[in-house]
């Protein structure tokens, strides 16, 4: 398992007294794109939040490039090269697009230049003086991903990147995600849009009620409709 960049071993996470994750384990190899699927409330977002340190797991270990990071505050984990792109996108609405990017780059040791980001997302260059709250949903999602990219994050956790977006924009973002994967960036993506997620994932995990119930390849999942029906409701 030494080739894994991110190794989650038997974590148990709670919101207050409610037990959400039960001995959840997963691993993401270097340059790998892994999709984490499951129904609403299965614990997908909680898994990402636990990895990022937003919610410290009560037990279990999380190794990032061999170093334990569980229980560390999010800012330390971010500085080690792991970046959560949260479901709600959490764009700073009072800040401009460029300020959002500059803020993200502040503590990154090898931050990208703004020009490089704008080359990747020409739309953000057009909108660079706009306030975050003036952006469309798709632009907000681009900016959210761009903030992870400008930090040169090695592992990117994408939480529902396609949620609530028009099909055309989803197509664009899927292309962006594929580009990132092709660049050798390591991605763990949580998504309700199974088709979109499977289109760029190398491997798949399925969570159900806080338990990891299946792992395999996109082809393996597609080949087994009963699996989709039982755990994803498709």
Query: What is the CA angle 227-231-234, rounded to 5?
Result: 75
Task: Please report whether residue 216 would count as binding another protein according to CB under 8 A.
Answer: no
Which residues, 6 or more positions from 107, have their beta carbon under 8 angstroms from its beta carbon? 75, 78, 79, 151
Q: How many CB atoms lie within 10 A of CB 204?
A: 22
Contact with another protein (CB under 8 A): which of 37, 62, 97, 104? 104
Output the six-digit token pair for 212: 């990891």
Residues of this chain, 110-169, that bind another protein according to CB under 8 A = 147, 151
Task: Please report whether residue 73 would count as binding another protein according to CB under 8 A.
Answer: yes
Contact with another protein (CB under 8 A): which of 95, 213, 228, 230? 95
The pairing of beta strand 59-64 with beta strand 67-68: antiparallel
Q: Phi first, then psi: give them for residue 185, nearest 5 degrees.
A: -80, 145
Distance in Å, CB of 147 to another protein, minimum = 6
Report the half-sphere exposure of 77 (CA within 13 A, side-chain side): 26
Contact with another protein (CB under 8 A): which of 14, 29, 65, 74? 74
Task: Please report whether residue 92 would count as binding another protein according to CB under 8 A.
Answer: yes
Q: Could you tell me which stretch among 64-72, 92-100, 160-168, 224-232 binds another protein (CB under 8 A)?
A: 92-100
The pairing of beta strand 33-37 with beta strand 203-208: parallel
Contact with another protein (CB under 8 A): which of 67, 106, 110, 168? 106
Residues that bind another protein (CB under 8 A): 52, 54, 73-75, 78-79, 83-84, 86, 90, 92-95, 99, 102-104, 106-108, 147, 151
């Amino acid at each position: 398992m030494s080739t894994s960049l991110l190794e989650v071993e038997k974590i148990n996470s709670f919101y207050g007294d409610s037990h959400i994750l039960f001995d959840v384990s997963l691993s993401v190899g270097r340059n790998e794109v892994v999709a984490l699927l499951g129904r609403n409330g299965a614990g997908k977002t909680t898994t990402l939040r636990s990895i990022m340190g937003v919610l410290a797991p009560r037990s279990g270990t999380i190794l990032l490039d061999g170093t334990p990071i569980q229980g560390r505050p999010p800012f330390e984990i971010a500085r080690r090269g792991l970046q959560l792109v949260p479901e709600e996108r959490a764009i700073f609405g009072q800040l401009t697009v460029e300020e959002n990017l500059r803020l993200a780059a502040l503590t990154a040791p090898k931050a990208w230049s703004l020009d490089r980001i704008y080359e990747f997302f020409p739309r953000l260059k057009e909108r660079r003086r706009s306030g975050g709250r003036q952006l469309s949903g798709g632009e907000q999602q681009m900016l959210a991903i761009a903030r992870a990219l400008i930090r040169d994050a090695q592992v990117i956790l994408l939480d529902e990147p396609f949620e609530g977006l028009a099909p055309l924009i989803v197509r664009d973002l899927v292309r962006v995600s594929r580009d990132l994967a092709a660049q050798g960036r390591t991605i763990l993506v949580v998504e309700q849009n199974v088709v979109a997620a499977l289109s760029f994932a190398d491997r798949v995990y399925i969570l159900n009620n806080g338990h990891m119930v299946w792992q395999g390849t996109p082809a393996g999942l597609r080949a087994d409709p009963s699996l989709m029906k039982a755990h994803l409701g498709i």
